[in-house]
Each structure stands twice: as structure tokens, then as C-alpha cells.
Structure 1
Amino acid sequence: MRARASEEEEAPVRKSGNVSHIGNKHKRQDMYQKYRKEKARSKLQRRLQTAKDERTSAEGKRRRKERLAANKTKTIENSRTYNPTVLNAPNTHEVPSWMQPVSASSTQSENRTSTEQHDDDQTSDAEDGQDGEEGDSSESEEDDEEPEKLSDTASVDNEPEEMDEIVDPHQAKYDQDADPTAPPAILITTSLPSNATSPHLASANARSHPAEEVRNFVKELLGVFTGAEYRPRAKAKGAGLGKICSWARARRYDAVIVIGEARKKPCTLTLVQLPMGPTALFRLTSISYGKEIYGHARNTGHSPELIMNNFTTALGHRVGHMLQHLFPKVPELEGRQVVTAHNQRDYVFFRRHRYEFRSTEKAALQEIGPRFTLKLVSMAAGLPKGAGAWNGRFVDELEVDDPPPAQADGQQDGDLDDGIEFLWKPKMSASRRSFYL
């Protein structure tokens, strides 16, 4: 019996993992573990040999390209359902024929055919004029003179003229100041809690004091946006969000950010782009402050650079346009700060880092903070209700002591105007391959 056991121990590991013929349970487990280890060892040796061959020879490099092209991992991103509003189609989707740009050769051929048809029409008209009477010839001469007059007017219209109207109203501040390095003026405030959360407080001003977590998050935002200014909601004296936006619009603010509070923590972020809108409501999750990040860097107050990823649809471009207007056009490069807004599966991940070039090929990153995640809940075309129409004028002096008028009875804070462009519903997440940004 001992000789038989020694023979089984010295026997090589089986090529198959089937060990059901072994009656002893412990021996069966040992044999299967040896099979697993030998299989992993042979697989590792094969991968190392393949990597060596692909790295050393030209034929191996060619085989590596073919292998990577054939072995594509199937993910949720590259198997997403096609969205017809995609402006920059992802690499995993083929652009439809009706979305492909028209080539220059086809446009030239179309122009040639149109000119040939126009010449044929002119020759036929000239022949008809020769065969007709004198009255017809005089009419043809008048018709010949009219195109010359039209061509003269067309040449005048094609001359460059100075446009007095502002094409993009959001760029009014930049056009007037002519300073692309100036940070946008942003008004940051908090939401107004309801009586249900603080029933023991009868005054609206007493209820408007935010919690400590909300105040800490506002301080982090003031460090990110160099042109931001925080005003407590108590100074509005019960005014709605529409009146606050109207007051900020008249004083040349570029945006209004409202931090919503629930259970004494920030839960929502409302972004209003001035002076014409739109208004976006985001769900705020996964907040980490700078002091909570291990090995974090300190803020130096410089305007950061902006990197935006994966905003491909029309709605995504609109959201990215709103985030872009929160930062100046020209950043301060000496600060070496960069803000990243990365969109993945309709979740916008916000990060801020400082980079350092330690070599000519790689850069070291040190996170400054804060980090948080945004999820778009709704998007409205205009400003919140109560803002009213804009006459295009600004207030010369900032009236600090003049609060906006109180909201009317029955008007809820945060009600958006008509013309909702996007509204998230739970049924939209039924398919994990449908994305909207």
C-alpha cells in the first residue's frame, strides 16, 4: 500500500482536471490543486513567451496588432444602443449614411451640374428672344440688366460688416471686458429648507442657515472657481430662485449655483447659466473634500485648465457648454492645475489635480480636491420661474443692501420654467446600454 501511494504521488499531473475516479477525498483535492497550479504555470509561461516574441521581432509586432484587433472585450460602453443625437460618434459606432459629411468632390460635381443647367436655360432664352418680336427682345434686355443689378447688390452684401448685436449672450461679459483671463462671476448660495425639516422654526431666515457639511462643500467650490462669491440664502429674505437669478443677471453674474440640502448633507446642485439659461438640476453624490484625500495638494488660487471627456450627444454638449462657462477662457498655466469632468454612463466625475513634469514622457499628478459625482436629473431651456424677461441692461453699481423681492404666495422655490428639454425617469435606467450624455 505504501509503494502504491508513493507511485501516485510521484506520478505527473494529469492533463485533464477530471479526478472523479480517485476514491480518497483528500487525495482527489490534492490532485486537483496540482492540476490548477500546473495549468496556471503553463499559461504564464506561454504569455511571457508570446510577449517576448511580439516585443523582439517585427513579425511578432504584426501578430500583436492582429491579436489586439481580433480580441476586443465586449463592454457596456462599446455595446451601447445608438443615439441619433450623437454629434461626435464614438469609436464603437459606425456613422449612418445620412450623418456622413458631404465630400468636396460631390459638392463640386453638384455645382457643375447646376451651372450647366443654368447655361442651358440662358441659351434657350436667348434663342427664343431672337425668334420673337421686338417687344420680346426689349423685355429680354431688361431681364439681362436685372441680374447685373442683383449681382452688384450681392457683392455689396458679401462685404464684411460690423455686427453690433451680440451673437452669444453668455459672452457679453467677455466681450465688454475684453479680458479672456478674467474668471466668470459666479453666485453660490444654498437652498431654502421647508417647514417639514425644521418645524420648530417659524422664521424663514432662521431656517435658511445651512448645515456644516453644506458650508464645507461651499468652501471647496469657492476654491475651485476663482470668480465665485458666496451669499447666504438668509439675505434673500424668502425670495425664490427666479428672483435671485434676476437679481444676479442684472449685476453681470455669469452663473448661479444652488446647493441643495437633505439630512444635513449636500444632495443636489442646481446650475443656472445667465443671462438666458438653461437651468440644470444635478444629483450630488460621492463627495470627498481635499483634506480627506491621502497625499492631497494645496490650492494656490490659480485658474485651472479644463478637460472634458465623453460628452458626445446634443444634450451632453449642452451640459459641457454649461460647465465650460464656469472657468475662464485662458487659464493660469503657472498654477499647473487641471480640472477634469469625465462623463461615463451619464455620471459626470469631477476631479482636480496638479501636474508636474518629472520627465519628457510622463507627468506626475497630485490630487487637490474636492471630488464628487453629478447625475443630470432635469434640464430646462430658460431661467426658473419668477426671473422675468431680460431687457439687456446691467446695473452699474452693486446694490448690496437691496434684496430681491419676496416670492408670491403659492410659488414654490425651484420651479422651472416651461420648455423642459430633459427629465430623468426611473424607467430610463431599465436598459443599461442607453446613455443620454
Structure 2
Amino acid sequence: MIRREARLRLEYVYRKSLEEKQRLIDEKRQTVKKYVDENRAIPTHLRKDAIDLQQDAEWGGEVSAIDDEYRYAGAADPKVVLTTSREPSAKLKIFLKEMRLMFPNAQRINRGHYDIKKLIQACKANDITDFILLHETRGNPDGMIVCHLPFGPTAYFTLANVVMRHEVPECGTMSEEYPHLIFDGLNSALGRRLTTILKHLFPVPKIDSRRIVTFSNTQDFISFRHHTYSKDEHGEIKLKEIGPRFEMRPYLIKMGTIDNADAESTEWALRSYTNSARKRPLMLSVPDDDE
């Protein structure tokens, strides 16, 4: 069983590496095609292969490989399992219960003395699609790890300004409808990657669902908000926050699962402590052409 999982994981990582190479080539093709169509000078680093790239752009060369990570998305509802770090505080336990209500078809597991590898093996055996691990520091929730099963990816987030449901005034009861999702300001390559990871934690909602979950990016901090809406007698829409709410910031994406994090390759990592960190543009969003 262990050898089979290792072999399947290696095959998956190899396919992903081929897809990444193909994606980079396709970006070069589209760049050359764009500059030729606009009658502009081709960038220096692409001039050597410009003719071949232009011919491939005209006759195909699109990325057509199937992404195995979310191949069953939409066909079956996701099954999410949530747990905490060991010896959680009372506040982290409450936060775990509220996060369990956030995701339809989710289950929570008391961590106890279970090892992460055993938890992941049990999740894989029961066809769990995503595993979420919540962390804390001195009683305050400050970390979340989202691991997609069975092969990854695994996204790491820091949490800040966590507000529980009981701290939201007049929050009412938690709706069990499948929520509509709003992703705002996540239009860069990294933002789209995180959007893919987060949106597949939720099942496909019905059209008449009145529950809304928002992930809004501002200065590379993703604000998580949870609302329901209703219409009054005059037809005006009223939003009601039902919590919880917090801010998320990604700092690492691994290609594999959390139980083999040290052995897996890093897809993206936040580099804050470098001389050029302040000069770098925002990671999760890119300016529009109109701006």
C-alpha cells in the first residue's frame, strides 16, 4: 500500500512538471503572438525562437493536459475533515466547531494524540477530499493548513483578527445551505491558484441559495466574510453577517500532502526577508489595463 501510494505520487509529480514546462512554453507563444499582432518589437529574450513560437501559436500548442488534482470537482460534493493542533485551547475548539459549520459535508476530529500521517491515511481510506488543520498561539487561532487529497496541493495560511460567531452581534443561527462564493481581487497567477484551492472546499450551490461566503483580497490579505441576504417588502436586499470572520495571508504552497511536506517540492513560498521585498508588486492581484 505504501509503495503504491509513493509510486502514484511520483507519477503525479512528474505529470505536473511536464504540465508546468508546457505552460511556460505556451506563455511564450502567446507573448510573441501578442507583440506580432500589435506590430511591436519582440522582447529580446524571445527573438531567437520567435519564428518557431509564432508557428506553434498559429497551429495549436495549447495546454490540453488534464489536471488530476480536481478531476472530480462538480461531479461529487467535497468531503472535508477538520482538526486542530495537539492540546487545543477552549477558544480553538470553538473556532473548530464554527469552521466545521462553514463547510457543508464537513466533519471534525478531536486531535488527541493522533499522528498527522495516521490521520491522512485514514482520510484517504475514506475518500476524504480535503483536510484542514487549525493552529493557535497562546489561545488565539493564527494558522490554517488546507491539504487536498490524495496527492495535494497543500496551502499554508496565517490568520489574523479572528472574530467568533458569538462575538458578532445578532448573528442568528447558521444556515446549512450550500453557499455562493465571491472571490475579489485574486486575479494574478497565484491568486487564481489559491482560488482553485479554496473554491473546491465547497459544493456547487443552488441558484436560490441565500448564503454567501466572500474571499476579498486587499494588499495581499484575504478577508473572509460570511453573510446571508434577504429581501424586504420594498425589494431591497439586506445583508446579515453571521460569522466567523478573519484575515488570511498565504505563505507557502507545497505540491504534495501535509504528511510528506518535507519531501515534497515547493510550488510557491513567501519571501519577506529580502532586500527587494518592499519593491515587489502585490502577489495576489495585478492591475487592470484601465488603471
TM-score by structure 2 length? 0.70
- Name the SS for the 1:379 alignment partner: strand
User: What residue is the counterpart of 1:249 in the other structure?
Assistant: 124
Aligned to 2:94: 216
2:239 matched to 1:419? no
- SS of the equivalent of 1:431 reads coil
1:293 aligns with 2:151: no
Once residues 251 and 174 of structure 1 are traced to their aligned partners in structure 2, the CA distance between those partners, rounded to angstroms, is 19
Q: Distance in 2 between matches of 1:421 and 1:280?
A: 10
Whether 1:373 aligns to 2:247 is yes
Percent identity (aligned): 28
Distance 1:255 1:101, change over 3 A: farther
Measure, in 1, the Cα distance between the counterparts of 2:239 and 2:108: 29
Structure 1 moving runs of 4+ over 2 Å: 96-103, 165-175, 241-247, 294-298, 332-335, 357-362, 415-418, 425-430
Equivalent residue for 1:186? 80
Partner residue in 2 for 1:314: 189
CA contact (8 A) 1:259 1:266 kept: yes
Instruction: State the Cα distance separating 1:264 from its structure 2 match.
Output: 2.1
Contiguous gaps of at least 5 residues in structure 1: 1-84, 86-95, 104-113, 115-164, 192-207, 387-414
Indicate the SS of the match to 1:316. Answer: helix
Aligned residue for 1:426, secondary structure, equals coil
Q: 1:169 to 1:278 in 2, by over 3 A?
A: closer
Equivalent in the alignment of 1:170: 70
Q: Does 1:264 align with 2:139?
A: yes
* Matched AA of 1:377: Y
The secondary structure found in structure 1 opposite 2:201 is coil
Aligned residue identity for 2:70: H
Over residues 98-152 of structure 1, what are the superposed CA-to-partner deviations in whole Å (9 max), with x where a residue is unaligned?
584997xxxxxxxxxx9xxxxxxxxxxxxxxxxxxxxxxxxxxxxxxxxxxxxxx
Identify unmatched segments of 5+ residues in structure 2: 1-23, 25-29, 38-54, 56-64, 285-291
How many equivalent residue pairs?
229
CA distance in 1, matches of 2:33, 2:87: 52
Match of 1:46 in 2: none
Change (3 A) 1:275 1:420: same
2:154 pairs with 1:279: yes
**RMSD value, Cα:** 2.9
Does the CA-based 8 Å contact 1:267-1:283 persist in structure 2? yes
Structure with greater strand share of residues: 2
- 1:321/1:222 Cα in 2 relative to 1: closer, same or farther (>3 Å)? same
If you compute each CA radius of gyration, which structure gives the higher value, 1 or 2? 1
| Shift in CA distance, 264/248, structure 1 to aligned 2, threshold 3 Å | same
Q: 2:228 pairs with 354, 359, 368, which one?
A: 354
Deviations 1:159-181 (A, max 9, x none): xxxxxx98634333754x5xxxx
Q: CA shift at 1:432, angstroms? A: 6.4
In structure 1, the partner of 2:215 is 341
Could you tell me whether the CA contact under 8 Å between 2:104 and 2:203 is conserved in 1?
no
Match of 1:226 among 104, 120, 136: 104
Q: What is the letter of the counterpart of residue 378 of structure 1?
A: L
More helix by share: 1
